[in-house]
Structure 1
Amino acid sequence: MIYLLLSVLSSTIIFIVFRLYKKFGVNTLQAIVVNYFIACTVGFFGYIEGSDFSKVPSENWFPGALMLGVLFITVFNLAAITTQKSGLSVVAVATKMSVAIPVLCGIFLYNESTGILKILGILLALVAVYLTSIKSEEGISIKKENLIFPLLVFLGSGIIDTSIKYLETSYVSETDVGLFSSTIFATAGSLGVIILIIQAFQGKLKITYKNILGGIALGIPNYYSIYFLVMALRTKGFDSSTIFTMNHVAIVTISTLVGIVLFREKLIRKNWIGLILAIISIILVANSAI
């Protein structure tokens, strides 16, 4: 379970970095692109030994890694559009509720275990994610014409997690986890560069040191969040539905607590209820795996 804990901690650091972007006026897109290349570099120099990079395109997992790289940058841009049109709460709910997709796939496609405790824990987790994500007593409101964007974020995020599980199970050897992760980030970063080049031709690009530093700060924990998640999925005795549920809910819980302590966020009653349900769901899902 140490890998799951490290993945959760890495993802929590990502949350902190994103919050600091707003404080220091960092251009998120530029920082995201830099972040992908930093994450790729961390993998290449820290977790890959004796690999023949020329053989990467011939690896069975290579097409899947390319697809994930495309999804990473696509979902990010969809999340940005959703934020502009419907607000941050809608993005948070769509992203975090997407855990339902890999959980259901794990149960139905991989015949993973089910039980009253596990099912109850998963249902409570989904409710907890929703309640901790909304920031007003009225809940969330989406105009009918904008509904497609959070739906795409929901599907895209769920497909990313499901694909990671599928590729990890079917094609990626333990010695290739670092190379697999780095290839995903390299693909996403390359596509991000194309977007920046288009912005440059449009006269909208202005690169600053704080955007680069923001990308470096994000890239390191971002790499580890994926690397440790893949390693957690290899933990014997734990189904992927259990890992994904505990991972998402723990990230929501710890990030919310960090928001209170470091950024003095004020929680409404629904958020507190969501936190309590999140803790209960983690206990239920964890106990169901014992």
Structure 2
Amino acid sequence: MPFLLAAALCSVLVSVLLKLARRLEVDVGQAIAWNYVVAAAASMLVFAPAPSALHAATAAWPALVGLGLLLPTIFLALAGSVRHAGIVRSDVAQRLSLLISLLAAFVLFGEPLSAAKGWGMAAGLAALTGLMWRPSKGAISGGAAGWIYPLLVFLGFGVIDVLFKRVASAGVPLGAALLAMFVLALLVSLVLQGWRLARGTARLGARSLAAGLLLGLLNFGNILCYLRAHQALPGRPALVFSGMSLGVVALGALAGMVVFRERLSRINLAGLALAVLAIVLLARG
């Protein structure tokens, strides 16, 4: 359980850092690029992957390239979601992206659909509707961005999970897969930031570098602690998943409403409750 708590805490702290980025005058794009420098270096130090593992797994490269493209762009979408919709909705949208990976499991991987999973998916869709509901006079402004960004987070993280399953099914060792993903994501981030620098729309800054180093440590810490939790509880994957998801939703709600004074409507709160129910049903199914 300590590993699960640490993983959930790291995940929520990523959202908190993204929420504070504008206030601290941090360039999110630059911070995301530096984040992948740290994550790639940490992968090499902790896992020490063998390069030969990637040479042998040619079938995994399309999924790895897809992950390299999606990881930095979905990070930007998460930053936009936290800014426009708040931490609570963003974290829940990220956790409910499991619905997409489950749908892929039924359609692409032949997993049977149980009653609990069916009800869980229905509750999850209802939760998304409630969480993205925007009252005409809400406390959280943002217009269309207030629901577009959480929707992008939901779709993006769902596709990322499916691609990760493709990599895992190809037999690539986790350390080698993580290193390849982080390096590819870094290259994409460098291209994006180089384009911004060439256009004069961004300037290198020490604050963005510091934020990126912290972001990379939190991002890698989230992954590492989550993996350690699975190793500590090898026969209870449902407990690991539900504990992680519920922990992120609970800590994210606490941080959003207490630290940042995010206010949710009754429909939003009902969506939050449905999200917890959906996670429990999907874990038990």
In the superposition, the TM-score normalised over structure 1's length comes to 0.75
What's the counterpart of residue 121 of structure 2? 122
Q: CA deviation at 1:157?
A: 3.1
Secondary structure of the structure 2 residue equivalent to 1:267: coil
Conservation of the 8 A alpha-carbon contact between 1:39 and 1:219: yes
In 2, the alpha carbon distance for the partners of 1:283 and 1:154 equals 18
What's the counterpart of residue 24 of structure 1? 24
Change (3 A) 1:71 1:206: same
1:40-55 aligned within 5 A = 40-48=40-48, 51-53=49-51, 55=52
- Equivalenced residues, count: 274
Secondary structure of the structure 2 residue equivalent to 1:271: helix
Change (3 A) 1:63 1:116: closer
Conservation of the 8 A alpha-carbon contact between 1:40 and 1:185: yes
Change (3 A) 1:19 1:195: same
What's the counterpart of residue 199 of structure 1? 196
Conservation of the 8 A alpha-carbon contact between 1:36 and 1:186: yes
> Which amino acid in the other structure matches residue 58 of structure 1?
H
Q: CA deviation at 1:231?
A: 7.0
Establish whether residue 33 from structure 1 lines up as the match of residue 33 from structure 2.
yes
What's the counterpart of residue 266 of structure 1? 263
Q: CA deviation at 1:33?
A: 0.5
Q: Which runs of 5+ in 1 are unaligned?
A: none
Change (3 A) 1:152 1:121: closer
Q: Deviations over 1:109-144 (max 9, x none)?
A: 33334332332123212322443344535799659x
In 2, the alpha carbon distance for the partners of 1:232 and 1:138 equals 42
CA RMSD across the alignment: 3.8
Identical residues among aligned pairs (%): 26
Establish whether residue 217 from structure 1 lines up as the match of residue 218 from structure 2.
no
In 2, the alpha carbon distance for the partners of 1:108 and 1:281 equals 20
In 1, the alpha carbon distance for the partners of 2:277 and 2:75 equals 30
> Which amino acid in the other structure matches residue 284 of structure 1?
L
Q: CA deviation at 1:160?
A: 0.9
What's the counterpart of residue 15 of structure 1? 15
Q: Deviations over 1:167-186 (max 9, x none)?
A: 123322xxx31231122111
In 1, the alpha carbon distance for the partners of 2:272 and 2:143 equals 22
Q: CA deviation at 1:108?
A: 3.1
Q: Deviations over 1:28-87 (max 9, x none)?
A: 101011111111111111232xx444x355141444323211121233456678999xx5
